[in-house]
Amino acid sequence: MNRGYHAHIYYDPQKTRPIAERLCTDIASKFEVQLGGLRDGPVGPHPVANAQVIFKPDQFQPVIEWLMMNRDGLDVLIHPLTEDSVDDHSVYAMWLGSPVPLKLDALRRNYRAELLPSARE
């Protein structure tokens, strides 16, 4: 069962953080999403800084279409929230831009995905 999605917008804290901040502000003003915050360092499977955007399945099409056209050169990971975090970030994941090698060993196979900001991911 897919409870929703995370979009992780990858950025460089020294160079492109303002772009990521603007993207988050813009996406939150246009769509029904939750912002999980900007993380200036590695967290969980994400080896670089990223901003987390959380949204429900009915927002997938408009959010992804908007990100495709407005990501301003930043790489974006989109993944579902099922009960298998490893597959969510690998098998079921999609990328806008260049994929970032993830640390999948930091994830659990079985977990309860929630549509809430997470400090772990």
For the segment 95-118, what is each residue's pLDDT rounded down to a tens digit? 999 999 999 999 877 765 555 555
For residue 111, what pLDDT is reported? Answer: 64
pTM over 0.75: yes
Does the pLDDT of residue 28 top 60, yes or no? yes
Does the pLDDT of residue 119 top 50, yes or no? no
Q: What is the CATH number of domain 5-98?
A: 3.30.70.1240
For residue 118, what pLDDT is reported? Answer: 52
What is the torsional sign of CA 55, 65, 1, 80?
Answer: negative
What is the torsional sign of CA 70, 41, 43, 100?
Answer: positive
Domain residue ranges in the chain: 5-98
Number of H helices, E strands in the chain: 3, 5
- Token representation of residue 51: 């901003």
Residue 18 makes CB contacts below 8 A (sequence gap 6+) with none
CB atoms within 10 A of CB 105: 7
Share of the chain above pLDDT 90, in %: 85
- Token representation of residue 42: 């590695």
Which value, in Å, is the radius of gyration of the alpha carbons in the chain? Answer: 13
- Token representation of residue 105: 């060993």
Query: 57-107, pLDDT tens digit by residue?
Result: 999 999 999 999 999 999 999 999 998 999 999 999 999 999 999 999 998
- Bridge pairing between strands 33-39 and 76-80: unpaired
